[in-house]
Amino acid sequence: MTTTTNTRKESRAPRYHAFHVVSGSGKDKPNRWTRIGVVFDHDDGEGGTLILDTLPIAFDGRIVLRAPKAE
């Protein structure tokens, strides 16, 4: 029996979090940010992989990528 080691990039911390942002209407209704996925860097540093956990129902085609904040 052989054992394999998980060396995929996805086992590391994500480079960015992906959000769907719904615009609010003024002070009473701020923008609503929903995290929908993550981005992992490629090993060669030439881009990354976007992994989406969900797609919003009212999707306008815009996904915002933000660096993760320290918890």
pLDDT per residue as tens, the chain (71 positions):
554 444 554 468 999 999 999 888 877 888 889 999 999 999 999 999 999 999 888 888 889 999 988 76
Count of structural domains, the chain: 1
The values of phi and psi at residue 9, to 5°, are -60, -30
pLDDT in the model for residue 39: 96
Question: Is 71 within a domain?
Answer: no
Please say whether the beta carbons of 15 and 3 come within 8 A: no
Q: How many residues are listed for the chain in this entry?
A: 71
Domain hosting 62: range is 10-66
Question: Is 40 within a domain?
Answer: yes
Please state, as a whole number, how many other Cβ atoms lie within 10 Å of the Cβ of residue 37.
18
